[in-house]
Amino acid sequence: MRMSSTAIVVVLITWVVARLGPKIGGVLIGLPIVLAPGFFFMLRDHPLDFVGSSASGAIYSLAATQIFLAAFVVASTRMGAITAMGCAILAWSALAFPFAFLPHDPLVGAGLFALATILARRIGRRFVHTGRLPPSPTRWSLLILRGLAAGVLVGCVTFAASRLGASLSGTLLAFPIGFCVILLSLRLDQGPEMASQTAHAGLVGVIGLAGFCLVLAVASRLIAPWQAFGAALLASVAVTAIFTVSAQSGRTKSCLL
């Protein structure tokens, strides 16, 4: 269940990117497609304090995700798909694992995430073109296999969370496996420009994920577990909806021009 629920949403988001374009698709990645199933099962199996600590750790990991996306945008313009993804993963690891052993205050993590987002946006803007790309066909068989691979991390981390500890569990649960599968699929099937534009738009989309983790980390100290989880979901969906409407408005204007 943990693997398949993640895989289904990853496949759908990749299809949306291919059909509606990278700006909207990148923003929609801000929906907690991996984090929500992971924390849902974590809430079933662990105390609320453990889940809140994991959510705080995930915010720090998401700051590293912004650097992951910026590294992919830069590397994708100069390297092949696998090499570019490898560079992005190394950039994430270089930040995320040291962050895992820091004290995880959710508000400090939110500030760190904001700084990483500003930096990544400035770096990525120099390497990505904003021209509109036509929709491309989807290779469903390969995409489904990649989506199933994306579910492996959620299943493994939530299953082994009690051994990993709250901080490391949150860090690994926020590993950008969804981005890895989606961007690699786009890079292999539809070219570097589509993948780079999606990664750059994803910098805005990740704000929705950070909102999910921040609300869960704070609300878990104040209200009941499932109420905190519901509030986190609503916050993530609301942020994503706002950015999606903004991206759709920009897409409509570009079509008119």
Three-state secondary structure of 144-202: HHHHHHHHHHHHHHHHCHHHHCHHHHHHHHCCCHHHHHHHHHHHHHHCHHHHHHHHHHH
Query: Contact, 142 vs 88, CB < 8 A?
Result: no
Kindly provide the b/e burial profile for residues 171-197, where b requires at least 16 CB atoms within 10 angstroms of the residue's own CB: bbbbbbbbbbbbbbbbbbbbebbbbbb
Tell me which of 1-15, 211-225, 227-241 is least confident. 1-15
Residue 207 or residue 244, greater confidence: 207
Best-predicted range by mean pLDDT (146-150, 174-178, 211-215):
211-215
Rounded to whole angstroms, the Cα distance separating 228 from 105 reads 17
> pLDDT grade, residue 140 (50/70/90)?
low
Taking the alpha carbons at both ends of the chain, their separation in whole angstroms is 45
Angstrom distances, CA of residue 62 to CA of 1, 46, 59, 256: 24, 22, 5, 35
Q: Which residues contact 164 (CB under 8 A, 6 or more apart)?
A: 157, 172
Looking at the chain, the whole-number percentage of residues with pLDDT higher than 70 is 74
Rounded to whole angstroms, the Cα distance separating 129 from 211 reads 28
Q: Is the pLDDT of residue 131 over 60?
A: no
Tell me the mean pLDDT in the region 189-207.
84
Q: Which two tokens stand for residue 157?
A: 């981390």
Nearest Cα to Cα of residue 23 among 256, 193, 229, 211: 193
> pLDDT grade, residue 99 (50/70/90)?
confident
Rounded to whole angstroms, the Cα distance separating 103 from 169 reads 14
To the nearest whole number, what is the mean pLDDT of the chain? 79
Query: Contact, 133 vs 197, CB < 8 A?
Result: yes
Q: Which two tokens stand for residue 92?
A: 């994430």
State whether the Cα torsion 61-160-13-178 is positive or negative. Answer: positive
Model pLDDT, residue 253:
45
Rounded to whole angstroms, the Cα distance separating 186 from 20 reads 13
Tell me the per-residue pLDDT of 65-74, one tens digit each, with 9 for 90 and over. 999 999 999 9
Rounded to whole angstroms, the Cα distance separating 62 from 168 reads 13
- Residues in the chain, total: 257
Tell me the mean pLDDT in the region 17-25.
71
Placement of tokens 């700006």 in the chain? 23
